[in-house]
Each structure stands twice: as C-alpha cells, then as structure tokens.
Amino acid sequence: MIVAQDPTALRHHLDPLRAHAERVAFVPTMGNLHAGHLALVTQALETGAKVVVSIFVNPMQFAAGEDLDTYPRTLDADLSALDKIGTDVVFTPRETDIYPYGSKAHTAIHVPGLGDGLCGKNRPGHFDGVCTVVYKLLELVRPDIAIFGEKDLQQLLIIKKMVRDLGLPIDIQSGATQRAEDGLALSSRNQYLSEEERATAPLLWQTLRDCASQLQADRSADVVSVLTPATTALEQAGFDVDYLELRATADLRPIDRITEDCALFVAARLGKTRLIDNIQIAAA
C-alpha cells in the first residue's frame, strides 16, 4: 500500500495507472475508520479497480462550536486497517494542500435545494463545505468510481447532484449503512456516547423502523400522526430531536404520505453527541 501525503505524490502514483488504462475507485473519509468505512473500501475493491482512500478532516464542514478540534484522529490505526484489506493508495493531505489560503477564504460550492433542509438547516454551511472538499478531492484523484455511504443519505444525494450538474465523468455509487448488532448505525462519533447513552442510542433506529412499518401498513395515513408521537417518545427517552421527517428521495422535498420513493430522516442529540440515521421506503 502506498501512502501519498500531498497532491504531487498522489499524481506520481496515479499517473502510471491512468497511462495503463487502469480504472480507479475512490472512497473519501475523515479517518477514525470503523467497519462502515471498511465496507465501502471493500465494495470499491470488488469493482476490480485500483482503490484510493483519502483521510482528511475537513475544517470547512465544521461550524463554530462543533467538534473539529476533538474529532478523533487515528491515522496509524487507519493505515493498518486499510493495508490489511488491500487498499492501493491512501491520500493524507494537509489542510494547506486542500485550502492554500485557509478554508474561510476558499471558494465554496453550493448545491441548491437538496442541502437547504434537514442537516442543512441545522448545520448552516455544512454541505457547502462537504461539496467543496469532495469536488477538490475528485479533481485530485480523478476516479472512475466514487463510493459514499447511505447513512449520510442527504449528503449522498447532494453529491450525486453536484457531480451530475458539473458534468463530472464519475460513477457515484452508494454503500449500505453498517450497523452494530443492536441496530445503531456505525459512526466515528458513537465513541462520544457514555455507557448509558450508548444503551439508549439504538432507539433511534428502532423508531425509524416502527414509523416506516406504520406508514407502509396504511399508506393513506398522515405522516404527522405517526411522526409526532414518535418524536415525543424519543424526547422522553432523552433525545433532543433536530428533525424526524419524511422526504422524497428524488428531490428531498417534504411529503405527507408514501406516494413515491422516499426516506425517513432523523437527527437527534443524545448528551453531547449528534446522531443521524435514515430508512428508505419504496413507493410500492
């Protein structure tokens, strides 16, 4: 496995691959890798392409007061895990490699519509930061395929639109959410949870499943009649709910019944930890 620490080293390793018409698959990460990340990398390896993984904690997607400074950084362990599963290249740029004049002075990419609600409403500017760094990484790696996890479904849909709108010749693929045995979606931030909070956290996924079952059982049911008591139950269990909403996956507009492909999205804080999850629901 090759570790490229800057864009020049990355080009040095990728140019010969392109010269020999090798396909490249890319998985961007912020490190502190868990089984969810490694599942995406394994999916990339299964395409038969050479696999590049980036590790970069992107300051542009963190708002003031969020956990940029304390976000877990475990580079040695990450490199070991990636090497074990057969990753070809790991790109570990510095902040100055991505933002030469600082992230606050950098041009931002904004995807309208899809990023305005849900996490975009609760974390203003977050998706501009995500799109900007993803675009820059895609331009540096120039992959044929890039893979993103469905746990961040809003992010996945935004990136697909950005790539489509900007005409980038990249196949954006998705990887299924990986979960602990009790259903909690794997996340680097789960380690912030106390023992008591960790025991409560799976209720988020259970609530999504229960709500989806109710809405699918009676497709004429008004979503408010299902989601309002579910939100109350989460709050009584100790969650501070940012949102629990049903949205169409085509354009992320709110809908009140299952009349098309859609997803239930939830974000809630448990103690100091913000958790997100979703469940997709087919129209028929």
- The residues annotated as belonging to the active site are 37
CA pair distance 170, 163, nearest whole angstrom:
7
Q: Would you state the structure tokens that stand for residue 133, as one six-digit string? A: 């760094």
CA dihedral of 201, 206, 209, 211, whole degrees rounded to 10: -90
Which stretch of DSSP H or E encloses residue 234?
A: helix 223-236
What 3-state class would DSSP assign to 106? coil
Q: From the CB of residue 229, how many other CB atoms can be counted at a distance below 10 Å?
A: 12
Q: Per DSSP, which regions of 92-170 are E strands?
A: 145-149
User: Closest Cα partner for 248 from 113, 100, 133?
Assistant: 113
